Amino acid sequence: MADSPELDVERTLVLLKPDALVRGLAGRIIQRFEDAALKIVGVKMRWMDAEFTRKHYFDLEERLGSEVYTMTAAFMQQGPVIALVIEGPDAVATVRKIVGATYPNEAAPGTIRGDFAHQSKASSKASGKAVANLVHASGNRDEAKYEVDLWFEPGELFEYRTLAETYIY
């Protein structure tokens, strides 16, 4: 019997944004990740002050302009967020698929944003408010590493085996 390839287990950051919390969707959103056999290895709740918001969105202003950064920062600072470190095979891509497209009106049904949010880029511009899309998920492996390290100390991340790992992986 041939050797099976090693699983590419990754960690990625997910933020449940203030709109997810005030709408009471945190549990339902977390369940989506657990239903996909992903594992939560870190969790905390915090307010993002201006300094921490700048660290998290360090390149947003450069990429999308000061107006987008200012709207996003104000949105993220209006209430607490829940930060999760999610682990599993190909976790970054899998989480992005579960979350759906950045603009909820473009997100497929069955994704978090497709099911629970419907704001468009046009409505965001018209209202002058950031897109309320419930969740932030790291965009790639490098971003995931940066964000996990920013949000969590090594001692805040946990190693354990889930039942899903026993049967699926």
Token pair of 147, please?
Answer: 């964000």
Asked whether the predicted pLDDT for residue 165 surpasses 90, the reply is no
pLDDT > 80? residue 163: yes
Q: Using an 8 Å Cβ cutoff, are 109 and 115 in contact?
A: yes
Q: What angle do CA 50, 92, 136 make, to 5 degrees?
A: 30
Q: List all residues 6 or more positions away from 57 whose beta carbon is below 8 Å from its beta carbon.
A: 69, 72, 73, 76
- What percentage of the chain reaches a pLDDT higher than 90? 80
Q: Which fold has domain 9-154?
A: Alpha-Beta Plaits (3.30.70)
Note whether 167 and 139 are within 8 A (CB): no
The residue annotated as part of the active site, out of 136, 137, 138, 147, is: 136
10 Å CB burial of residue 33 (0-12, 13-18, 19+) is buried
Q: What is the pLDDT of residue 125?
A: 82
Name the token pair of 151: 């949000």
Residue 1 pLDDT > 50: no
Q: What is the pLDDT of residues 55-113, one digit of tens each?
A: 999 999 999 899 989 999 999 999 999 999 999 999 999 999 999 999 999 999 999 99
Q: What confidence tier does 161 reach under pLDDT thresholds 50, 70, 90?
A: very high
Please indicate whether residue 136 is annotated as part of the active site. yes
